[in-house]
């Protein structure tokens, strides 16, 4: 997509950590999940859900509907830049993605939203919170921490597999699955990657809707975290970190750092791996609902 048509506006912002960097915010695609009997639901404190790397708003459709129903609040599931149906841009880092989400919240006039982000989306959500603390009603990062950490090598393998798929000119998903099986044994993860496959209307050849080269060159950015000093940037709003006990992204030794950036944090452990919202949606929903209802009772 041509950058001139995909960028809705561009502004220069200056932050202490990002001096003299020009970033453009993009207009993000989203799905709004209204609760049943939505005329009686509160429009305040909506939930905004951010997916992880190679994901999209479709990944969290079931949990979004369940949370909307349980909490009687609207839930916005977003496609982050270079993912799903959102525009592409050559810049893919946390400050730029946070710009997009910040603009989404302002454009839709969301009042004190609860920002939920998984993996890459968790770092986007934390970046928004640390830059614009008063904007949020609550923060829920899922299986990621506010530290620099190398991504698992799996992500590089996935990109190599996707490159091979695109280079072969295949027309059937079973062919793509066969190629990806050389890079990933788990069928569920291969199916997750193939949710990004689209067919060319002209040739019928399958390709990926995500910009593979852009994401490949941005993997190092995805391991980084754009804040270093919790004295200069601190979010004092209510925060729930949810981590998988069989994942490595939020080890115990980073909890002091989390406490410095997010002094009002709680942590919820769930017995699963990194893909918490998919592996244990029941326990994840229970954790979120309990956390937010406790906040409601504290305020009443």
Active site residues: 119, 274
Radius of gyration of the chain (CA): 19
Q: What is the DSSP string of 81-150?
A: TTSTTSPP-S--SHHHHHHHHHHHHHHTT-SSPEEEEETHHHHHHHHHHHHSGGG-SEEEEES--SS--P
CB-based contact 63:40 (threshold 8 Å):
no
Q: What is the DSSP string of the chain?
A: --HHHHEEEEEE---TTSTT-EEEEE---EEEEPPTTGGGS--SS-EEEE--TT--GGGGHHHHHHHHHHHTS-EEEEPPTTSTTSPP-S--SHHHHHHHHHHHHHHTT-SSPEEEEETHHHHHHHHHHHHSGGG-SEEEEES--SS--PPPTHHHHHHHHHHHHHHHT---HHHHHHHHTTT---HHHHHHHHTTEEE-TTT--EEESS-HHHHHHTHHHHH--S---TTTS---S-EEEEEETT-SSS-GGGHHHHHHH-TTEEEEEESS-S-HHHH-HHHHHHHHHHHHHHHHHHH-
| Block residue for tokens 């066969």 | 178
């Amino acid at each position: 997509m041509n950058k001139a048509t995909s960028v809705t506006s561009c502004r220069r912002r200056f932050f202490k950590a990002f001096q003299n960097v020009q970033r453009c915010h993009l207009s993000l695609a989203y799905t709004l999940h209204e609760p049943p009997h939505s005329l009686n639901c509160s429009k305040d404190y909506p939930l905004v859900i951010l997916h992880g790397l190679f994901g999209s708003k479709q990944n969290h459709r079931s949990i979004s509907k369940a949370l909307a129903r349980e909490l009687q609040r609207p839930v916005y599931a977003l496609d982050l830049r270079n993912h799903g149906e959102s525009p592409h841009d050559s810049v893919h880092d946390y400050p730029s993605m946070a710009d997009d989400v910040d603009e989404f919240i302002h454009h839709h006039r969301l009042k004190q939203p609860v920002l939920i982000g998984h993996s890459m989306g968790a770092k986007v959500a934390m970046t928004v919170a640390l830059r614009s603390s008063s904007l949020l009603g609550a923060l829920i990062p899922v299986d990621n921490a506010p530290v620099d950490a190398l991504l698992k090598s799996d992500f590089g393998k996935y990109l190599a597999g996707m490159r091979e798929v695109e280079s072969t000119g295949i027309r059937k998903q079973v062919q793509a699955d066969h190629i990806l099986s050389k890079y990933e044994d788990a069928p569920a993860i291969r199916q997750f990657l193939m949710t990004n496959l689209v067919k060319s209307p002209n040739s019928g050849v399958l390709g990926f809707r995500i910009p593979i080269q852009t994401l490949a060159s941005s993997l190092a950015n995805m391991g980084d975290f754009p804040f270093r000093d919790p004295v200069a940037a601190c979010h004092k709003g209510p925060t729930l970190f949810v981590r998988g006990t069989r994942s490595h992204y939020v080890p115990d030794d980073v909890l002091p750092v989390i406490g410095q950036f997010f002094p009002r944090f709680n942590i919820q452990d769930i017995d699963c791996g990194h893909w918490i919202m998919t592996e244990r949606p029941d326990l994840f929903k229970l954790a979120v609902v309990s956390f937010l209802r406790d906040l409601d009772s504290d305020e009443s």
